[in-house]
Amino acid sequence: MNPLYGVQPGDKLKTVTLPAVTRLDLIKYAGASGDYNPIHTIDEEAEKAGLPGVIAHGMWTMGSLAKLFTPFYEDGFIQDYSIRFQGMVYVGDVLTLHADVVSHEESMITFDVYARNQQEKDVIRGNVVFRKHLETSAT
């Protein structure tokens, strides 16, 4: 049975705590995404832009937040995903990922999702609509 079938509004998925963000994470993401903006990899360039150091790509953070749903990909897929950036993510930050059930219909579950840093400050918030594969009985 699909493990998401029993969730109700107010329920929470198990949180995921990521390892501390490393410069290598950001270099790898720059190569994979094609986003070579130097504020993500070179301290001097980030400082010229008025930042205290390199910052993670916003899309790296957004992609990481989707890891909350990895255990459920056999059961369905993310149909819709929208976020708002709330704060910057720096090298060394430790992010904890959260998903709270907002609504549960037959084939869809809507979640509030967010990531918080080690200071308990939100760095990203949004919504995910997860579309479940409907179970069918074998004939």
Could you read off the pLDDT tens digit of each residue along the chain, which spans 139 residues? 556 778 999 999 999 999 999 999 999 999 999 999 999 999 999 999 999 999 999 999 999 999 999 999 999 999 999 999 999 999 999 999 999 999 999 899 999 999 999 999 999 999 999 999 876 544 4
Spatial neighbors of 52 by CB under 8 A, at least 6 apart, are 46, 90
- Residue 34 and residue 38: Cα distance in Å, rounded? 12
pLDDT at 138: 46
User: Phi/psi at 107 (nearest 5 deg)?
Assistant: -115, 0
Q: Is the pTM of this model over 0.85?
A: yes
Give the chain's domains with CATH numbers.
Answer: 11-20+58-132 (3.10.129.10)
Query: How is residue 75 written in tokens?
Result: 């059961």
Model pLDDT, residue 116:
98
Q: How many CA atoms lie within 13 A of 4 on its CB side?
A: 30
